A and B are shown apart, each in its own frame.
Chain A
């Protein structure tokens, strides 16, 4: 299994509070991703990173920000959590896209509930 961990694994927070989720990898992969998964939807990309300090938006980026100060860590922040952000959040990594393979490997997920 790819060396990816996420913390916390479960979190309950109140509307309006800031929340930061952490993804840590030991694979030294260049690309890191944050997805959310909701019933009836596939995984939807929130933000991704293609290197230290290099990030870009995905299809559902509103209300989220990210940072990557080290290769191994990718942080997802909900500036002011809303109930619509209750979801399961997965981090993923992939190696250099130069291989034309975009195989992604996922962390165990974080279950976030916003009350």
Chain B
């Protein structure tokens, strides 16, 4: 079993849709949680950290459920520019990356 697992998708949604991604992790000692986005043939870029109380940044909301060991990312009012692969990152001293969930937003 992989330490960090994500649904690879692809998720194909129309503009304006709400889409949610989940990510499960196996190490209960994990302390740090992040979502990154990666455009095709580019480097990953930090989208947002995930805090225990949940956090929001504009159209993006991240949640952490320690009991069930998963984090989620909700994107509201999807834009064409949201099309990318979203990477879940979990860890403590040693960060582990999920393989990513691919999102395509269509007109």
Contact at B49–A42, with CB atoms within 8 Å? no
Interface size class of A (residues with CB under 8 A): 20 to 34
Residues on A lying within 8 angstroms of B by beta carbon are: 35, 40-45, 58-59, 90, 97, 100-109
B1 smallest CB distance to A (angstroms): 14
Residues on B lying within 8 angstroms of A by beta carbon are: 2, 4, 31-32, 34, 42-46, 49, 87, 89, 91, 93-100
Report whether over half of chain B's contact residues are helix, strand or loop; otherwise say mixed: strand
Contact at A90–B87, with CB atoms within 8 Å? no
User: Measured between alpha carbons, how far is A103 from B94 in the docked complex, in Å?
Assistant: 12
- Residues in B neighbouring A100, C-beta threshold 8 A: 31-32
8 Å CB contact of B95 from A102, A108, A109: A102
- Residues in B neighbouring A102, C-beta threshold 8 A: 32, 34, 91, 93, 95
Contact at B87–A101, with CB atoms within 8 Å? no
A109 smallest CB distance to B (angstroms): 5
User: Measured between alpha carbons, how far is A104 from B46 in the docked complex, in Å?
Assistant: 8
User: Measured between alpha carbons, how far is A59 from B94 in the docked complex, in Å?
Assistant: 10
Which of chain B's residues has its CB closest to A97's CB?
B93
- Residues in B neighbouring A109, C-beta threshold 8 A: 42-43
Contact at B43–A107, with CB atoms within 8 Å? yes
User: Measured between alpha carbons, how far is A109 from B49 in the docked complex, in Å?
Assistant: 22
User: Measured between alpha carbons, how far is A73 from B73 in the docked complex, in Å?
Assistant: 34
> Could you write out 26 A-B pairs with CB less than 8 Å apart?
A35-B97, A40-B99, A41-B99, A42-B4, A42-B96, A42-B97, A42-B98, A42-B99, A42-B100, A45-B94, A45-B95, A59-B94, A97-B93, A100-B32, A102-B32, A102-B34, A102-B91, A102-B93, A102-B95, A103-B34, A103-B46, A104-B89, A105-B46, A106-B43, A106-B45, A108-B42
